[in-house]
Structure 1
């Protein structure tokens, strides 16, 4: 009888140890995903109605599919062309906000494709890949994509353009102008910039 009790206690102890080890491993994976995805982590958890495990599975799947992607470099002339196009569409925003927002949706999509990401014809796939490599800036791209296809007001379109600029600059090889969803004061980027994520 004592032998059976000792065996039961050992089995229960090993089970508890194994279970707590899995919890710690999952917890460290969650911290890694939070660091990697920043505000995108919270958005995905919210999309899964607070189900952290489902959200982390989705983010892990994105990393599995797109983590090995290596961004192709831009030639100096291609970079200069993209920068000039972005500056021109910012200027057009005052006279024609919706046209500028539509171009602000298309320009980062082309730039992402040229850098080696999936093409814009598969927006969700392109967006998922960008979220793995530029997580702190993808929400602005989603906002401008939504604004280009919806009925957003001028202020919402302006904010979407400001946010999309962070991703554009990250892809163009310039230092990003904002992180973590913070807004800049103007389209020209003369507002206060947050420090780059660590």
Structure 2
């Protein structure tokens, strides 16, 4: 019966050590990636994990969101545009007293217009929410909550107090999207500002 030579044992040990180091490095990179995505997306990270029932699938989907949004030209508003949007929001809030359902519809339309102005594509709602979550993860839950109330309102299932909450949810997203910069003639859209902090623009 052949015996295993010391050299063979040494080779086996080296291979095992290399494999162990490679596995540890892989786990370390995966852990760091998870930490980065969790820090970037916040509650949206946990929502994605729950939706996919798999951390790996959720992280792959979140990375796809990032890559998709990085290809977009997301621009801040000019002060003039920000002032116009702010004035329109003030008007719809005043209208809520007499026409709450109409005010909710106008809030949804105004948020959509603002998204387009910033450079987000108008896909279906879930794609809009996914795109928003990349740079505005703290408020995308407000968007989902507002849309759910609005959907039930279309079926006649919503009281005035819920409609008021919908407007509050829309306002949270609206404020976060209302980023402003001075744009000079010939200036190139600024990607490097993302994720930017919302400017405090109030009417």
Instruction: Using structure 1 for the length normalisation, give the TM-score.
Output: 0.78
Higher radius of gyration, 1 or 2: 2
Q: Which runs of 5+ in 2 are unaligned?
A: 181-196
Q: What's the RMSD between the two structures over aligned residues?
A: 2.3
User: Higher mean Cα deviation, 157-166 or 23-32?
Assistant: 157-166
Deviation at 1:141, TM superposition (A): 1.3
Inter-partner Cα distance in structure 2 for 1:76 and 1:19? 52
Find the partner of 1:163 among 161, 169, 191: 169
Higher relative contact order (CA 8 A, sep 6+): 2
Alpha carbons 1:167, 1:176 under 8 Å: kept? no
Deviation at 1:68, TM superposition (A): 4.3
Does 18-27 or 87-96 show the bigger shift? 87-96
1:76 aligns with 2:82: no
2:67 is matched with which residue? 64
Q: Which runs of 5+ in 1 are unaligned?
A: 178-188, 190-198
The correspondence for 2:110, drawn from 107, 111, 114, is 107
Seen in structure 2, the aligned counterparts of structure 1 residues 116 and 38 have a Cα distance that, compared at 3 Å, is same
Per-residue CA deviations over 1:45-98 (Å, capped at 9, x if unaligned) read 12123x211111110110111124342232333222211121222223333332
- The match for 2:43 among 34, 39, 46 is 39
Q: Is the 8 A contact 1:79 1:172 kept in 2?
A: yes
- TM-score of the two chains, using structure 2 as the length reference: 0.77
Show the counterpart of 2:184. Answer: none
Equivalent residues of 1:137, 1:164 under 8 A apart: no
Task: Give every structure 1 segment of 4 or more consecutive aligned residues whose post-TM-superposition deviation is greater than 6 Å.
Answer: none
